[in-house]
Structure 1
């Protein structure tokens, strides 16, 4: 069964007809031509398809598009403000936080989500003191980014980039 939905992708309303079993990732890539989120494992284990849904990071291969009719979806391509890069994008460049680049859009969206979580004071598994303000240290950032895999092993540079923006 196919239905008509509208997704607000990177600030633009995009109507699309999808089968009710179509994932958000497939709707973005195959139906709308939005190629920033990548299809890696297609099982929610690698994070290459991470996007921001209503401002929160999700792996788009594990959610149905029809569940998000009318939702705001931001990809790594939609983070820049005109010709000015988002601070996370700039930090990734500053710290060489990518190598082959396949995981980079998902890493960047996840990093933006991590920074929002830290700003809101949400604890993670690595948070030692749940009564104190959450600190954006390497262990905290690494734990929060653990769902985004990088075959090239650029993890140190990715954490450096996120730390730069967190400061």
Structure 2
């Protein structure tokens, strides 16, 4: 059996160097090696986007589908899964959700929750990009739909995800130009 040696940053912590069998998909690595099961396996063909995670780049963020991408492709990257967005105060142990996560909860955006991790990661990337490049209010809805439009949700019909993002963004004037 052949192995790949991998090393990257995940949710702010170094992973590796470690050897992983060649061909191991990132979602399997997250679940089986790191016990991070928030990223969901949906279609296994990269279509539903339930499995996306975020990569932090020099210019922003990219999302990657982990069900069709081997763990070796992530070597050297700075990555975030759905588990990496909330913050815990070390003194009080109080958890603070990312504004996107909070907006999804407040707007009852999901039902079964299977697609939620993918939506959260994509939406966090989109939200963070708006901090750098605000959008015109009249383009907001179309922009949200373009950002989240490839994600498949079989329960809610997407409307609540889009509405949550619209409400969140409109509540923060610095994201609108």
Give TM class, smaller chain: 0.7 to 0.9
Residue-by-residue CA offset, 1:32-90 (whole Å, 9 max, x unaligned): 21111111111110010011012322212232211222321101111011110000000
Distance 1:6 1:90 in 2: 31
Does residue 82 of structure 2 align to residue 81 of structure 1? no
Distance 2:130 2:157 in 1: 22
Aligned with 2:73: secondary structure? helix
Aligned with 2:143: secondary structure? helix
Could you say which residue in structure 1 is the equivalent of 2:174? none
Choose which of 147, 150, 154 in structure 2 pairs with 1:147.
Answer: 150
Residue-by-residue CA offset, 1:81-108 (whole Å, 9 max, x unaligned): 1110000000001100110111111111
CA RMSD of aligned residues (A): 2.0
Distance 1:65 1:43 in 2: 16
Does residue 103 of structure 2 align to residue 91 of structure 1? yes
**What is the deviation of 1:139?**
2.3
Could you say which residue in structure 2 is the equivalent of 1:11? 12
Distance 1:42 1:68 in 2: 18
**What is the deviation of 1:120?**
4.8
Go from structure 1 to structure 2 and tell me whether the alpha carbon gap of 1:120 and 1:43 turns closer, same or farther (over 3 Å shift).
farther
**What is the deviation of 1:149?**
0.8
Q: Which runs of 4+ in 1 moved over 3 A?
A: 116-122, 133-136
Does residue 46 of structure 2 align to residue 44 of structure 1? yes
| TM-score between the two structures when normalised by the length of structure 2 | 0.80
Aligned with 2:156: secondary structure? coil
Unaligned runs of 5+ in 2: 89-94, 171-177
**What is the deviation of 1:157?**
0.9
How many residues are paired up?
A: 157
